[in-house]
Amino acid sequence: MKKRNSGRQSRIDPIIFESINAPLLILDPLWQEQFRNRKSEKIISLETKIKDLMKENARLAETEQALTNKKRECLSQIRKLAGDVHERNDLEAAKATEIFKIAVHDINTELDALGRRADNLPGEMEEANRELLAETVSVIYFSMRDSQARLIALAPEIERLRAEVQRMTAEQIACEEEAARTYQLLHRLVGREVVNILDQEFKP
């Protein structure tokens, strides 16, 4: 793990998560909730990369299915033409058969290329997800560390304020008791009506 550099956010090396079989973070609802409004540029970039890889994977599957269907149709046509080619020596059927064979060869070439790309996609997606995991942990771990440091810094001030509140509360209670005693004495000396007149005249 890298040490924190002064004035710059540290980043965790993705290699430490190599043995972790983490699910795709962008599909995790809790991850989405936690990072809805706190995504770094790198998180946004990696999220986009993973989404693009997922879309590519879906397109590859669709293309593979379409090519497989096309190949199946070509092979079906070759089988249908086999009688005309081999039994009747039909030149047109032979030409058509050759065209279908070329098409099958081309399809096989495309399928091979798709297969190689499809084989690489999971690794690329896993690597991008691992990088996203590292960035995620970097953000939340060092955010937690910053919060812990802030708590430590706040503790003395909180204690000071707590003592100040206790002192002021005690003073408040003393003032309330003094006011109540004074009011009671005034009522006894001059009566409620005079006290009310004084309250009206000297109302704060």
Tell me the Cα Rg of the chain: 40
Average pLDDT over residues 71-85: 87
For residues 97 and 81, the answer to whether their CB atoms sit within 8 Å is: yes
Is the pLDDT score of 9 beyond 70? no
Q: What is the torsion angle, in degrees rounded to the nearest 10, for the CA atoms of residue 54, residue 56, residue 58 and residue 62?
A: 180
Average pLDDT over residues 44-73: 95
What percentage of residues in the chain have a pLDDT greater than 90? 51
Q: What pLDDT does 10 receive? A: 65
pLDDT tens, position by position, 140-162: 888 888 889 999 999 999 999 99
The answer to whether the pTM exceeds 0.75 is: no
pLDDT tens, position by position, 105-142: 999 999 999 999 999 999 999 999 999 998 888 888 88
What percentage of residues in the chain have a pLDDT greater than 70? 94
Q: What pLDDT does 4 receive? A: 44
| Contacting residues for 180 by C-beta, under 8 A, at least 6 apart | none
Is the pLDDT score of 87 beyond 80? no
Q: What pLDDT does 2 receive? A: 41
For residues 1 and 139, the answer to whether their CB atoms sit within 8 Å is: no
For residues 114 and 74, the answer to whether their CB atoms sit within 8 Å is: no
Phi and psi (nearest 5°) for 68? -65, -40
Q: What is the torsion angle, in degrees rounded to the nearest 10, for the CA atoms of residue 10, residue 122, residue 115 and residue 51?
A: -70
Q: What pLDDT does 116 receive? A: 95
Within the chain, residue ranges assigned H as helices are: 29-34, 41-86, 91-190, 192-201
Q: What pLDDT does 145 receive? A: 86
